[in-house]
Amino acid sequence: MITERYGVSVDLSVEGKQQCPRCKKNGRDNSMDNLHVYGVDSSGRHRGAFCHSCEYTIPSQEYLEDLNEELEEEYDEMGNKLDKDVLVELKRTTTTDSKGYRGVTKETSSYFNVRYDFDEEGQVDKVYYPTTKNFKHVGYKVRQHPKNFITPYGEVGKDVDLFGQFRFKNVTGKYVLITCGEHDQLAAYQMLADYQNSRGNASYGHIPVVSPTIGEAGAHKQIQQHYEWLNGFDKIVYCVDNDEAGRKALEKVAKVVPKYKLYVMNLSTCKDPNEALLKGKQKEFISRFFSATAYVPSGIVGSGSLLDKIKEAAKIPKIPLPPFMHKLQGLMAGGIPLKTIVSLGSASGTGKSTYVDELIYYWLFHSPHKVGILSLESDCAQYGTKILSRHLQRKIDLIEDDNDKMELLESEDVGGKAATLFTHDDGSHRFHLIEERDGSLEDVQELILQLVIECDVKVCIVDPLQDLLDGLSNEEQAKFMKWLKGLVKSHDVTFILVNHVRKSGAGSKANSKGADISEEDFAGSSTIFKSSACNLLFTRNKEHEDEFERNITVMKMTKCRWTGRTSPVAGKYYYDNDSHTLHDLQDYLDKNPEIEYSGESGITPDKDALKEFENF
Q: Quick check: is 317 in a domain?
A: no
Q: What share of the chain is helix, strand, coil (3-state, %, to 5)?
A: 40, 25, 40
Q: Mark whether 475 and 356 lie in a shared domain.
A: yes
Find the helix packing angle between 380-392 and 352-366, rounded to 10°.
Answer: 70
CB atoms within 10 A of CB 379: 13
Q: Quick check: is 315 in a domain?
A: no
Host domain of residue 50: 2-58
Q: Quick check: is 331 in a domain?
A: no
pLDDT value of residue 58: 82
Q: Mark whether 587 and 526 lie in a shared domain.
A: yes
The predicted-structure confidence for 453-471, as pLDDT tens digits, reads as follows: 888 899 999 999 999 999 9
Q: Quick check: is 491 in a domain?
A: yes
Q: Mark whether 177 and 207 lie in a shared domain.
A: yes
pLDDT value of residue 405: 95
Per the DSSP assignment, residues forming a β-bridge with 494 are 459
H-run or E-run covering 605:
none
Distance (Å, whole) CA 433 – CA 61: 77
pLDDT, mean over the chain = 87
Q: Mark whether 95 and 31 lie in a shared domain.
A: no
Q: Give CA 232 to chain center in angstroms.
A: 35
pLDDT value of residue 298: 65
Q: Mark whether 292 and 439 lie in a shared domain.
A: no
Q: Are 179 and 261 in contact (CB under 8 A)?
A: no
Distance (Å, whole) CA 375 – CA 587: 30
- SS3 (DSSP) at 613: helix
Identify the CATH number of the domain in which residue 105 sits.
3.40.1360.10
- SS3 (DSSP) at 599: coil
Q: Quick check: is 388 in a domain?
A: yes
- SS3 (DSSP) at 331: helix
The predicted-structure confidence for 74-95, as pLDDT tens digits, reads as follows: 433 433 456 677 777 888 889 9
Q: What is the DSSP letter of 158?
A: T
Q: Quick check: is 209 in a domain?
A: yes
Q: Are strands 371-375 and 431-433 parallel, antiparallel or unpaired?
A: parallel
pLDDT value of residue 70: 45
Of the three residues 257, 290, 309, the one that is the final residue of a domain is 309
Of the three residues 291, 309, 327, the one that is the final residue of a domain is 309
pLDDT value of residue 265: 92
Q: Mark whether 93 and 127 lie in a shared domain.
A: yes
H-run or E-run covering 403:
helix 402-409
Q: Are 583 and 576 in contact (CB under 8 A)?
A: yes
pLDDT value of residue 605: 41
Q: Are 328 and 582 in contact (CB under 8 A)?
A: no
Q: Mark whether 153 and 80 lie in a shared domain.
A: yes
Percentage of the chain modeled with pLDDT above 70: 91
**Smallest Cα–Cα separation from 132: which of 86, 67, 79?**
79
Q: Quick check: is 325 in a domain?
A: no
Q: Quick check: is 129 in a domain?
A: yes
Low-confidence residues of the chain: pLDDT under 50:
68-80, 506, 601-614, 616
The count of domains in the chain is: 3
The predicted-structure confidence for 309-353, as pLDDT tens digits, reads as follows: 888 888 889 999 999 999 999 999 999 999 999 999 998 777 788
Q: Mark whether 398 and 269 lie in a shared domain.
A: no
| Residue 476 φ then ψ, to 5° | -70, -35
Q: Mark whether 119 and 249 lie in a shared domain.
A: yes
Q: Mark whether 432 and 358 lie in a shared domain.
A: yes
Q: Mark whether 78 and 37 lie in a shared domain.
A: no
Identify the CATH number of the domain in which residue 422 sits.
3.40.50.300
pLDDT value of residue 79: 38
pLDDT value of residue 212: 95
pLDDT value of residue 66: 62
* Terminal C-alpha separation, the chain: 98
- SS3 (DSSP) at 582: strand
Q: Are 48 and 12 in contact (CB under 8 A)?
A: yes
Q: Mark whether 481 and 351 lie in a shared domain.
A: yes
